[in-house]
Amino acid sequence: MLLRRFFGETEFNNYDVFPSKIPYKNSVFCYPKMPGKSGKRDVKKTSSGDKNRMFFKLTQVKRIMKHTTYMRVSKDAQVAMSSALAYIILELLDGGKIMAHDDGNKKKISPRHLSNAINADGELSSLLKDYVIQSGGCRGFRLPEVTRKN
């Protein structure tokens, strides 16, 4: 239907749509040129935020980094910081989900579950040792494994 509109009703009636059945392959009817861009197209440029489906907007990460360090921030630093934050949050949510499931609550992750997940994971515990989660309960104190004997 579109080809009929493009070439006109009278010129197109005698030919099929498929190029193999057209008598003259070099004719206009073989491969009609559509209006607009033609030829090879450039590779579609993607922004750095689209590469990994960033959880955080890179402009917000840049603003926070600039205001805390008072330095210029490169695009690679923004992407790295955004990826690191996304990884930490996914680890925290995964641990909280496991703690909530062990507690018998399958639909809701509470601050207590997040606090227990931080305490259970050694890396998160060392990273977030100075922070207190509101309504997360108290953090259990563990004695060092090896103690000096006097």
14 pLDDT exceeds 60?
Answer: no
**pTM exceeds cut of 0.85:** no
As a whole number of angstroms, the distance between CA 124 and CA 92 comes to 8
Neighbours of 17 (CB within 10 A): 10
Is 90 exceeded by the pLDDT of residue 105? no
Over residues 93-99, mean pLDDT:
94
pLDDT score of 147: 61
| Residue-wise pLDDT tens digits, 29-81 | 455 556 666 666 656 665 554 555 678 899 999 999 999 999 999 999 999 99
Quickly count: other Cβ atoms within 10 Å of residue 113's Cβ: 22
Contact in structure between 109 and 97 (CB atoms under 8 Å)? yes
Query: Are 92 and 114 in contact, with CB atoms under 8 Å apart?
Result: yes
Domains belonging to the chain, first-starting first, are: 1-35 (no CATH), 48-127 (1.10.20.10)
Residue 36 is given by DSSP the state S
Say what the pLDDT of residue 56 is.
Answer: 87
